[in-house]
Chains A and B, each alone.
Chain A
Amino acid sequence: MEPFTRLDAVACPLGLANVDTDQLIPARFMSRPRAAGYGSFLLHDLRYDDAGATRGFLLDTPRHAGARILVARRNFGTGSSREAAIYALWDFGIRCVIAPSFGDIFASNAVKNGLLPAQVTEEAAETLIAALERMAAPRLAVDLVTMKIGGAGSDIGFTLDPVRRLQLLNGWDDLDLTRRHAAEIAAFRARRLAAHPYALPAQD
């Protein structure tokens, strides 16, 4: 996994609340192989009309070309557990989403793919959205070491679970960590199945 330390990049003030993962990637695209890239599926139905022509959605305006940061309102990534929502963000180029709250599964999926879900207060999100709308060239600098967002007046702090922060900073993969516990896992399995026989399904 690609480590995340600091990102100074074009930021798009999405400004929407309750952006669910069905909007991030509509279900009909999820049978496609990842190899071809999921970037064009990101927020597809907000960005394209029925003929496939762009609707001029904020993310597609020249002002936000090359955006790697999104700023949204509360409950971003709510809903379906589809990790394809992260693939769509990632393949489009987004590396960080800033919002007052995230769906739990979305936030977990994000970190496992190297994407930073930076949580800020409602007020801070409003400040960032207003500042980005005013800027001639909308950019923010997100620093995972100092946990600060710069570029919109005085620095704004954000939060992230410390374990997830370390994982992102180091680009750690869960599996490498888990394998170190192989003996404990085997011992636990044996104990559990012996003490709680129902844990093993009866044969049908």
Chain B
Amino acid sequence: MTAKPRTLFDKLWDAHVIVTREDGEALLWIDRHFVHEGSHHAFRALDGRGLPLAEPGLTFGIADHYVPTRGRPHIPDPEIAGMVSRLADNAGRHGFRLFGLDDPAQGIVHVVGPEQGLTLPGLTIVCGDSHTSTHGAFGAFAFGIGASEVAHVLMTQTLWQRKPKRMRAWFDGRPGPHVAAKDLALHLIRTIGADGARGHALEYAGAAIAALSMESRLTLCNMGIEAGARLALVAPDETTFAYLRGRPFAPEGAALEAAIAEWRGLASDPDAAFDREVTIDAAAIAPTVTWGVSPEDALPIDAAVPDPAAAGSAARADYLRAALTYMGLAPGQRLEDIRIDRAFIGSCTNARIEDLRAAAAVLRGRRARVPGLVSPGSSLVRRQAEAEGLDRVFIEAGFVWGESGCSMCVGMNGDTVGAGERCASTTNRNFRGRQGKDARTHIMSPAMVAAAAVTGRLTDVRALGEA
């Protein structure tokens, strides 16, 4: 008898099950736990029980959600300063490695993990942040958890989970020029819905995925949560292994070669069964932007915003009307006629070096018509960009060249979009109030944000031509 074919996810799951209860819940071993300023509720629970941190060597702290992008290290708001110092206190008290405000490798947790080689194929990785799905780009079993689960991992380095279903999104063909991973992600979400992958481990596969860089795969897996997926995955390959070489916390030499030999087995078997499969023609995807208040409210840039009068149901019409009112848009308005007030390039979705290069390529020799902020994904990305002269391109185009953090994606550090203002943003969520109270967010790729900044309205970067 031959072994039953398994998906990549099945293999990752099987390798981490400590015990499975009769009711199907499994206790999983956690290889890496990332904590940030927002993990304070969980540390209070740990202290409340008087328990020690179970695995300081597998716990890593990163200051990202509340850190300032300007004027470091000074934090004028005492409440925000308290969040950053509380994380440092917890790191000191419990003895885990902290990438704090003053660390040269500080950055956003989902950028720092891969960059430092903490994120590796075959690992379970958790963090009290929904975008932990990002790390799945390496073939890691990575998912976001709430504060109760963070506390459980702090105490035991394990989690009880029920096995999610398996879903595969197969991207055939080659995307056209200026069609980025962000466009692939937004296209998938508008196709299956913001809850389309709910309860599933979502594996991206196909020729278009195999051709992507690690940065692009990270963007795609990052947005997996916006499709509702429990976690997202790309099978590791030569691109993955090449990225890992020389990373500070990754194995080296013979240890790395042995690990790579094992990781080559981390792929879905040819006959493995998925609970759900979708196939998408990457060649047919246009640069895509959101118009509404959910990532599923996305359309190709040459489309017009929907008209509630043409909605299929009363509930849908209500939804569209409320979204258009919040966004200050008229039914049927062309996307390219929407004027913006500011631009933001940053976040765990799109602030890696490749993203900054793509935006800078559009901005080189041009001026932005609206104020803009760049917050690189990590302090190392920031230095790399400066070595390539990208900071000059952004500054000469009129952007503010900020420090690294979650910044205007979530606004916790005070970087917010004003009430009623409209922002072209490389971030992941266009929720009501996400970037600030009553702020209006349009999410898109870095090149598309740069194009919008140059014209002052949503713009098809393909039509912009040479500067």
Contacts and interface: CB of A to CB of B under 8 A. Distances in A.
Interface in B48-104: 49, 57-58, 66, 79-80, 82-83
A104 B229 CA distance: 8
Nearest to A22: B431
Contacts of B259: 196-198
A78 B432 contact: no
A34 interface: yes
Interface string A9-31: 00000011110101100111011
Contacts of B158: 178, 181, 185
A174 B160 contact: yes
A201 B437 contact: no
Given A161-B162, A178-B27, A188-B29, A83 B148 contact: yes
B237 interface: no
A83 B146 contact: yes
B411 A78 contact: no
Contacts of B412: 27-28, 30-31
Contact of A81 (B144, B160, B438): B144
B429 A22 contact: yes
Contact of B129 (A18, A28, A81): A81
B116 interface: yes
Interface string B370-388: 0000000000000000000
Given A105-B146, A198-B259, A78 B195 contact: yes
B59 to A, nearest CB: 10
A122 to B, nearest CB: 9
A204 B262 CA distance: 23
A15 B438 CA distance: 21
Contact of A104 (B152, B198, B294, B315): B198
Size bracket of the A interface? 35 or more
Given A22-B433, A101-B195, A178-B156, A112 B146 contact: yes
B38 A30 contact: yes
Interface stretch (B166-174, B247-255, B350-358): B247-255
A2 interface: no
Interface in B104-140: 116-118, 120, 122-123, 128-130
A192 B29 contact: yes
Contact of A31 (B83, B157, B228): B83
B264 interface: no
Nearest to A86: B146
A174 B152 contact: yes
A20 B410 contact: no
Contacts of A30: 38, 412
B150 to A, nearest CB: 8
Interface in A82-99: 82-84, 86
B194 interface: yes
B195 A75 contact: yes
Contacts of A108: 145-146, 149
Nearest to B314: A126
Contacts, number: 187
Given A31-B80, A175-B156, A81 B117 contact: no
A81 B149 CA distance: 11
A104 B25 contact: no
Contact of A189 (B129, B157, B198, B438): B157
B439 to A, nearest CB: 10
A202 B249 contact: yes
A79 B69 CA distance: 24
A86 B18 CA distance: 29
Contacts of A81: 128-130, 144-146
B57 A200 contact: yes
Contact of A26 (B80, B249, B437): B437
Interface in A157-203: 161-163, 166, 174-175, 177-179, 181, 184-185, 188-189, 192, 196-203
A26 B433 contact: yes
A188 B18 contact: yes
B437 A20 contact: no
Nearest to A177: B160
B31 interface: yes
B186 to A, nearest CB: 16
Interface in B401-448: 410-412, 419, 429, 431-434, 437-438
Contacts of B82: 31
B58 A201 contact: yes
B199 interface: yes
B42 to A, nearest CB: 9
Interface in B176-228: 193-195, 198-199, 228
Given A75-B194, A192-B29, A197 B157 contact: no
Contacts of B29: 185, 188-189, 192
A103 interface: yes
Nearest to A125: B315
Contact of A199 (B31, B198, B294): B31
A121 interface: no
Contacts of A109: 146-149
Contacts of B429: 20, 22, 79-80
A182 to B, nearest CB: 8
15 contacts: A18-B194, A26-B433, A26-B437, A80-B410, A84-B147, A86-B146, A109-B148, A174-B160, A175-B152, A178-B27, A184-B27, A185-B18, A192-B29, A198-B250, A199-B123
The 4 A-B pairs of least Cβ separation, nearest first, read A109-B146, A83-B147, A204-B248, A83-B146
